Amino acid sequence: MPDLQIERQHLALADQHIAEGDVRVAQQVARIERMMAQGHDTIVAQDLLEVLQAVLVQWREHRWIIQDTIARLTSELEASGSECSTQAETAAPLDRTAEGA
């Protein structure tokens, strides 16, 4: 059975990866804009951007799975009479429509 603390660590790591991925996408967009302004071919750079964006979609999906697992484990703990540390530490399932997925 998954451990709640481990899942919270996984969620923090997923958040870090997503934040770093967002930065990489923004940097790649800026590179493409510079390349276009200088008259360079951007086909390969645009292909890389698409790959980076696809990876971010997968990371966000993985994050949702972690959040759902945390919510399920928290619910199971509450149902069994165990107490969680605080409600603030409990991650609620993410509304997947909020991020335009």
Q: Say what angle helices 43-79 and 4-37 make with each other, to 10 degrees.
A: 160
Residue 54 lies in a domain: yes
27 is a domain residue: yes
For the chain, what is the domain count? 1
Residue 11 resides in a domain = yes
**Residue 101: what pLDDT?**
44
Asked whether residue 99 is assigned to any structural domain, the reply reads no
Interior CA angle at 95 toward 90 and 96, to 5°? 125
Provide the residue range defining the domain that includes 25.
4-89
pLDDT in tens, 1-51: 579 999 999 999 999 999 999 999 999 999 999 999 999 999 999 999 999
82 contact partners, CB below 8 Å, separation of at least 6: none
**Amino acid identity, position 39:** G
Confidence of residue 80 (pLDDT cuts 50, 70, 90): confident
17-26, 71-80, 91-100, range with the lowest pLDDT? 91-100
